[in-house]
Amino acid sequence: MKDYSSERSRMVETQLVARGIRDPAVLAALREVPREFFVPDELAEFAYEDAPLPIEAGQTISQPFIVALMAAALHLKPGDRVLDIGTGSGYGAAVLGRIVAEVFTVERHELLVGLARERFRELGYSNIQVLHGDGTLGWPDHAPFDAIAVAAGGPEVPAPLLQQLRIGGRLIVPVGPTSRLQNLVRMVRTGDAEFSRDDLGQVRFVPLIGEEGWTDRETPALSLSRPHQNPARTLAHLIRENAEPIPDIDAAALDPLLDRIGDARVVLLGEATHGSSEFYRMRARITRELIARKQFSIVAVEADWPDAAHFDRYARQLRIPPAGRPAFTRFPTWMWRNLEVERFVEWLRGHNGELKDPDRQTGFYGLDLYSLFASIEAVLSYLEEVDPPAAELARRRYGCLTPWEQDPARYGEAALSGRYNACEPHVVAMLQDLLQRRVDYSLRDGDRFIDAAQNARLIANAERYYRVMYHGAAESWNLRDRHMFDTLTMLLNARGPEARAVVWAHNSHVGDAAATEMSARGEFNIGHLCRQEFGPEAYLVGFGTDHGTVAAATDWGGPMEIKAVRPAHGESYERLFHDSGHAASLLHLREPVRPAVREELIAPRLERAIGVIYRPETEMQSHYFQA
């Protein structure tokens, strides 16, 4: 088997230490235990990614950070005796076994029990005992325990586990009304019948099945609120009766949709994948109608600002700078450098060419912030033309980031670890200087100054983004979507009070995060911010599919593959629409003709999200969320 020691060490530094795990014994255990040994052979190459992975019996192995977080929160000592509930692959028990004297672990799946015992034997981990049984009842024969770790989520803390703690013992367990939205809870036994409780944050675990947990027949993933009043078949029939069929993308009658959009200032058009032609074609079709019939002047997309600027200059027939780096060559090229986008930009160029007033033309803009070094190049190019001394100052300031041009994410790692000074003061000072000279610069060429100022703003936000990405997903996600929203509002303000914008982005960005499990993780998105800012003048249209194909990669930076999309989960919105019998349709939910449509669909269901990466083998863990 390949030697993964370097990947293991990097995982500890970037996923654990960088997020605040400091317990030396926990870090040593995670450096020692070979996680690749505890996953199926075909997933060994993914063993040290920051994600859970599927294992046998339909279960998962937790991401390394969660294993470390739980172990650290138990405040373990070398002589402790620990009970581990939910053996799974055995990885969590193995980590605990490197820290304490004895580990007793319970697993309800007999297949996993046998595999875990064999792994412990092969690795020489002799201080771990495995029981095939109901973990919610614990292992009373070996009680009391100094600590108990539960690697599955239940509706409440199982009482038998509390009783098997010794005085002073600690218990860690995910608790919540759904298997997809849980709080990690720490209980400390302070007396015979007294316990203290701490909430350690939102997590997601498989359901805790057993006498003191969920039953096999329950569906906790759908129990956030009231149960569905009608069975899925009735819901599908309701959708069929009220949805507007779409027989063909190019010929679809969009008048009802345009009437409902009315005078909305911002229309956000989603996608369930980044690589399905039909989503791009339908989005382009709706956008053409909004531009031609409702005078929308902004198309703002989930793309990098400098790359989109190439398309914008072409579409508005503006001066195109000398040839440099081609647009949209950063991974993934297929997301914007595709035939559907090319055809739309050609249409936009033709439409703009028919307008005599340049101020009425529609621009094509990027909202995202990944183009750190392309934006630096754009600012330098602008300043060298309009203010050479300022260009020289900018070159020195941005030079702080030069060592990380090939891999900006490593800059964040270095800055966070203290091995490299953060570049924040330099990039912020450059942005402030540029904005202070806005009057002088914008008089020469307003459009070009807006472009340069946005690039400088992007550099400052991107620098911060790469620094915070190692703290956790919520902070970096929020920074990115806040940047996209701020860019959108900047464009609306720049184009004047009559400006109207169409946004193209993934459903996870343009849907309202407050209506999904994202909000429980402390995340917001551009759709949520638009709802707050524009109220009913923000009109959101989501896209979805049951099955088909998608252009996606297996790993970040990997080659494009055409992958078959699995039929949607039985408890998902996508399956309901598929079961309605319409090959394609549009369902209005803001003010439906029949209120029952919205009322029946308001109960939580699963929604699928496929981005640049698609891994069908981990679909439930990585491509579905509660909505």
Positions marked active-site: 62
CA atoms within 13 A on the CB side of 135: 30
Residue 170 tokens, joined:
């600690």
CA angle 361, 502, 354 (to 5 degrees): 20
The amino acid present at 527, given as its one-letter code, is: G
Strands (E), 246-384: 266-269, 298-304, 363-368
The Cα–Cα gap between 529 and 513 comes to 9
What residues contact 371, with CB distance under 8 A and at least 6 apart?
A: 304, 305, 306, 307, 330, 458, 462
From the list 306, 310, 482, 474, the residue with the least C-alpha distance to 380 is 306
Residue 433 tokens, joined:
């200087």
How far is C-alpha 489 from the chain's CA centre?
23
The Cα–Cα gap between 250 and 297 comes to 22
The Cα–Cα gap between 241 and 233 comes to 13
The Cα–Cα gap between 236 and 265 comes to 32
CA atoms within 13 A on the CB side of 467: 16
The amino acid present at 96, given as its one-letter code, is: L
Cβ distance 200 to 171 under 8 Å? Answer: no
The Cα–Cα gap between 249 and 443 comes to 44
Return the axis-axis angle of helices 305-315 and 339-353, rounded to nearest 10°. Answer: 40
Cβ distance 151 to 106 under 8 Å? Answer: no
Residue 547 tokens, joined:
């099955």
Burial of 339 (0-12, 13-18, 19+ CB in 10 A): exposed
Long-range contacts of 422-428 (CB under 8 A, 24+ apart): 422/463, 422/467, 423/463, 424/460, 424/463, 424/464, 424/467, 426/397, 426/398, 426/400, 427/397, 427/398, 427/400, 427/401, 427/456, 427/459, 427/460, 427/463, 428/460
Instruction: Say how many C-beta atoms besides its own lie within 10 A of residue 559's C-beta.
Output: 9
